[in-house]
Structure 1
Amino acid sequence: MKNLLIYQSTEYDCGPTTLTNAIRYLFDREEIYPDIVKYIMLYCLDSYNEAGEVGKRGTSASAMMFLSNWLTQFGQVKNFPISCNFLAKDEVVLSENSRIVGALQQGGAVLLRVYLEVPHYILLTGISGSDIYVFDPYYEEPDDPELDKEFFEEGITFITDQPKRANRLISITRLSCTGVGFYEMGPYEEREAVILFNTNTRKTPENSIEYII
């Protein structure tokens, strides 16, 4: 059985929460090794803030790169059907035939760094026309009168009926922006992503839906 996707417990743990959600999205609960959950938490939350407090600057790109490699090697050693790739800078785009779009068409999941006032990790789980299905681990209620007005800008739609897949539908146009608005990927030099596949359920390119802008 597939698990519900989860929300972060603190202001800082979007990284391990989103990586865990990628595993929950791709694999049934009965398939998931406890080692995977343990080591995601062990290696994330590695950044220090200006006061020298560990974890209070979230998870670094270095940690995500390491975990991408660790998960792939874990899969090879344990015969667990996972494959990961870390992308950075100008590799992180959502254009036609890009690696991220191709991964979503093939049934993969993508951890993506965007902005939500501060750098923030979200999970991409699918594509529909010019929009991306997203699970944002930072819990918000769309009917909260104190909700930031930026959540209602063009290209952001709340989803409330797909708890195992998505809670936002974000336009590719918004995600692709080089600014620091809500759900924008920002400057190319800051971009990062991790593509994850369940290799048993990965679709072949021939069976993937063509993406057209």
Structure 2
Amino acid sequence: MRTPLIYQMTCYDCGPTTLVNALRFLYEREELDPELLATIYARTLDDFNEAGEAGKLGTSHQAIRHVARYLNMYGSGTGFPVAAEIWSGEDALIAPGSKAFRALEEYGAGAGGRDDRGAAAAASASVAIVARIWHGENGHYTLLTGVEDGRVLAFDPYLEDAGEGLANGTVDGDRVRLVAGRPLVANRSVDPVAFHSDVKANYALKNAVNADPTDPRIGELVVIRRTDRGVSLPTA
């Protein structure tokens, strides 16, 4: 049984929520072991604010990388069909024809057709991507699940007030549109242009220019895939 994707319960837990959503999107509930959930929450919410309060700066990208490595080791050790790759630089470009865009287009939710909840799309999907982006003035994690009509499908775990949004609400009706009634797949449809900006723009991948010099030049993605469906990810 597929279960709906979920929203974060605090202002800080977008990291673990997005990782959990990747698993909810790719696997049936009965396929998932509680060890996966326990490890995700144990290894995230590691960043601290200027007052030294743990978790109050969310999850570092080092922790996300650590979970990606864990998924690989878990898959190798148990035979569970999961693998994760970290893509950065040119590999992290999200634009028509790019490596990441083609992975979503070929193996994401768009290939499964449309229905009232996204069940068919989710059931056929083999790839999900965790993206580290800007959300207003804050760093944020969101899940990319497919491509539809040339736009990237995403599930943003931060719930905005309907009709009001945040002071810097992400849904503008143009670059970022609301997707309703598809809780198994997406709540946003994003123009690929939004992902690449050298300023703190909504949905721009965090990179060495708009975030921190230690970040990859273009940005970084964690690509999570089912390994039991013959997926051959693009190489370039």
TM-score (norm 1): 0.88
* Corresponding position of 2:129: 110
1:84-95 equivalences in 2 (<5 Å): 84-95=84-95
Distance 2:169 2:195 in 1: 17
1:178 pairs with 2:198: yes
Distance 1:46 1:154 in 2: 34
Q: Give structure 2 stretches of 5+ with no counterpart.
A: 109-126, 209-214
* From 134, 143, 146, the counterpart of 2:163: 143
* TM-fit CA distance, 1:102: 3.0
Report the structure, 1 or 2, having the larger strand content: 1
* TM-fit CA distance, 1:149: 5.4
Q: Give structure 1 stretches of 5+ with no counterpart.
A: 207-213
* TM-fit CA distance, 1:96: 4.4
Structure 1 149/5 Cα, relative in aligned 2: closer, same or farther at 3 Å?
closer
* Corresponding position of 1:119: 139
The one-character-per-residue Cα deviations of 1:14-46 (angstroms, maximum 9, x if unpaired) are 000000000000000000010000000000001
Residues 5, 25 of structure 2: 8 Å contact kept: yes
3-state SS of paired residue (1:30): helix
Distance 2:225 2:43 in 1: 20
Residues 64, 86 of structure 1: 8 Å contact kept: no
Structure 1 30/144 Cα, relative in aligned 2: closer, same or farther at 3 Å?
same
* From 142, 159, 181, the counterpart of 2:179: 159
* TM-fit CA distance, 1:103: 2.4
Identity of aligned residues (%): 32
Structure 1 142/39 Cα, relative in aligned 2: closer, same or farther at 3 Å?
same
Amino acid aligned to 2:226: N
* From 189, 192, 201, the counterpart of 1:169: 189
Residues 139, 206 of structure 2: 8 Å contact kept: no
Distance 1:146 1:178 in 2: 22
Distance 1:59 1:149 in 2: 21
The one-character-per-residue Cα deviations of 1:147-185 (angstroms, maximum 9, x if unpaired) are 745522531110111001000001001122232111111
* Corresponding position of 1:128: 148
Number of aligned residue pairs: give it. 206
Structure 1 72/152 Cα, relative in aligned 2: closer, same or farther at 3 Å?
same
RMSD across aligned positions (CA): 2.1
Structure 1 130/178 Cα, relative in aligned 2: closer, same or farther at 3 Å?
farther
